[in-house]
Amino acid sequence: MTTTAAAAGTWQLGDLTVNRLGYGAMRLTGNGMMGNSDGAPIDRDFAVRLLHTAFEQGVNHVDTASFYFSPRRSANELINRALDSWRGHDVVVATKVGPGRTPSGEWRTMARPDELRGQVEENLRQLGRDHLDVVNLRRNGPDCDSVAEHFGALADLREAGLIRHLGLSNVRPEHIREAREIAPVVCVQNSFGLDWRRAEETGVLGLCAELGIAFVPFFAISGLRREAAPAADRDHRITTVATELDATPAQVRLAWTLHRGPHVLAIPGTTNPAHLTENLTAATLRLTPAHLALLDAPTA
């Protein structure tokens, strides 16, 4: 099978080379991740096959977290199963710590710095690994105005060999600069997409480019949660570009994301095999300057 994800090119997460189009594992948990326990949990064997299909198509970067779980499924557990039976290329697994959930699924406030080791060890147990490839410190609003103490705790765990590389999530430029005074930062995860460009407005996207840090947007397709309602004329423009390229609107959104710079990665998630292939095929789309100008034009 063609390694479609490789068509987007590669980037370095420290000493780890990943294809710029990866996979986000949150949806693997089924309907219960966001507190809704309705609906049947995803079949474990189906989930493993889905992940293997992603790997076969070139995905070698998976984003997850120990708090990605529903009443009967854990994303980390499913990834563990998939990797245990995978005999292909190495897969880089990035997880995140900071906020947490009780076993019953209730969200907790930001963990204290001394609690981060427990969260890291929980990810290690669930993933069945001796060390974690990448751990992102997820900033949780005003509970974490400065990241220094928390990031310092993770830097200590990196020195101890439990973590290979460190990143940040949901941060502002000052947090990136603050963290880099403590330890190298290989990636930043913030919400970003055609309809939500705060990372550009705050300078996070540009700072990551300047420093050679991977920028890994979540909700790039804006399908799970729209933090800003899209303008109708932008949706029309997306459809226009999609028609010209014989693509879907979701593919155009992903292609636009990847066109923001060689340091920009994407981690779309799905439990639908057809949508998985559709998402990964977006790596092959090449938007022209005219397409980009149309998509970036101010909304009416």
Nearest to 63 by CA among 22, 104, 5, 99: 22
pLDDT, tens digit, 9 for 90 and up, residues 175-222: 999 999 999 999 999 999 998 888 999 999 999 999 999 999 987 775
For residue 294, is it within any domain?
Answer: no
pLDDT score at 84: 96
pLDDT of residue 268: 94
Per-residue pLDDT, 30: 75
Residues of the chain with pLDDT under 50: 1, 32, 34-37, 223-227, 229
Would you state the pLDDT for residue 36?
A: 43
Torsion angle of the four alpha carbons 216, 222, 226, 230, in this order, in degrees rounded to the nearest 10: 120
| Per-residue pLDDT reduced to its tens digit, 57-85 | 999 999 999 999 988 899 999 999 999 99
What's residue 230's pLDDT? 55
Q: Is residue 241, in this structure, part of any structural domain at all?
A: no
The DSSP code sequence of 83-145 is HHT--SS--EEEEEESSEE-TT--EE-PPPGGGHHHHHHHHHHHHT-SSEEEEEEE--GGGGS
Q: How far is CA 100 from CA 72, 76, 140, 148, 243, in A?
A: 17, 14, 10, 19, 42
Range of the domain at 104: 4-231+249-287
Nearest to 137 by CA among 129, 126, 123, 161: 123
In a domain, 237, yes or no: no
- Show the DSSP H helices in the chain as ranges: 44-56, 75-84, 116-127, 148-159, 173-180, 198-201, 204-211, 232-245, 249-258, 273-281, 289-296
Q: What is residue 1's predicted lDDT score, i.e. its pLDDT?
A: 44
pLDDT at 255: 96
Q: Which residues pair with 100 in a beta bridge?
A: 108
Q: What is residue 124's predicted lDDT score, i.e. its pLDDT?
A: 98
**Residue 236 forms part of a structural domain:** no
- Domain tally, the chain: 1
Q: Which residues contact 289 (CB under 8 A, 6 or more apart)?
A: none
d(CA 85, CA 73) in angstroms, rounded, equals 19
Question: Does residue 226 contact residue 196 with C-beta atoms inside 8 Å?
Answer: yes
Using DSSP's 3-state secondary structure scheme, residue 154 falls into: helix
Q: What is the domain-level CATH number for residue 198?
A: 3.20.20.100
β-pair partners for 167 = 136, 187
pTM: 0.92
Give the C-alpha separation, 188 to 168, whole Å: 5
- 23 catalytically annotated: no
- Annotated catalytic residue, options 68, 151, 192, 219: 68
Would 30 be classed as within a structural domain?
Answer: yes
**What is the Cα–Cα distance from 179 to 157, expressed in whole angstroms?**
15
Is residue 40 in some structural domain?
Answer: yes
Please give the pLDDT value at position 210: 97
Q: Which H or E run includes 12? A: strand 10-13
